[in-house]
Amino acid sequence: MILAGGARELVFEDLDLARRQVDRGEPAHDGPPHPAAWLGSSVFDGARAFEGVMPDIDAHCQRVNDSAARMGMKPTMQTDEIVALAREGVRRFDGKTALYVKPMYWGEAEGPGTIMPDPDSTRFCLCLFEAAMPEPTGFSLGVSRFRRPTLETMPTDVKTGALYPNNARALADAQARGFGNAIVLDMLGNVAETATSNLFIVKDGVIVTPAPNGSFLNGITRQRTIALLRQEGRTVLEQRVTMDDLLQADEVFCTGNYGKIQPCTRVEERKCPIGPIYRKARELYWAFSHDRR
């Protein structure tokens, strides 16, 4: 492994493969001609290191291997190896600022005119960089005109770079209209997620979240939050969620790796309170995280 970067960012990369590229007369670093750049074939995952903990780091590292396999690549690292490398990287920071932990895979095309990655060319990289946790002050949501694809049209069961341009245009569209994030519907017009996170609503004490239907990634933080709330004795339903449900909700909150659990304070023009169930979900998640250092 080669380690590069400064105090605010660390990158672990495959040194042997870089040397082989040099031996073939190729540049050691990937650039615009690489399939990961122009065909969107990269996969990645994101974990968090904050307050001395890395919740569900093993699940995130396992998912990047699963994503690579589903995209036709051959994972080169075992899950426990990635976890160990992540822990080593975290120790090299001063611990004052939260970190984003991002393992990645990408591969080269099998030959000229081929868009499929060669499994034996798969490369691994682990990036760690400082990224403060957002404050849970609340954000607004506006409905995007762009929708989530289906499993038949895109690899929606994979955390791949190929999906993020669609998320990005939904987010840009919402922010251009003055919202903090976007509500993204599936192809049937039901609520799928936000542009960057999974969505929960609360009505009369019952917690509801869109059922994974192949249009969005069933997030690790989402799954953990559901489990923690159910262990607490709360009712959590995974089912179809409509815009009417969202607009009539007593509370709305989101889960995702970057901000973990964040409250929504406005949906379109309707204000939402930061409510007790959101607070309980965040409290439970933080307790879970710190019990597993």
Between strands 139-147 and 260-267, the pairing is parallel
- Measured CA to CA, the distance from residue 252 to residue 50 in angstroms comes to 25
Q: What's residue 117's pLDDT? A: 81
Q: What's residue 30's pLDDT? A: 54
Domains along the sequence of the chain with CATH: 2-130 (3.30.470.10), 139-291 (3.20.10.10)
Q: What's residue 7's pLDDT? A: 46
CB 71 within 8 A of CB 43: yes
Residues with Cβ < 8 Å from 228, sequence gap 6 or more?
Answer: 281, 284, 285, 288
Residues with Cβ < 8 Å from 174, sequence gap 6 or more?
Answer: 141, 142, 144, 180, 181, 182, 183, 195
Q: What's residue 89's pLDDT? A: 95
Residues of the chain with pLDDT under 50: 1-7, 15, 18-19, 21-22, 26-29, 32
Two tokens, residue 174: 């919402």
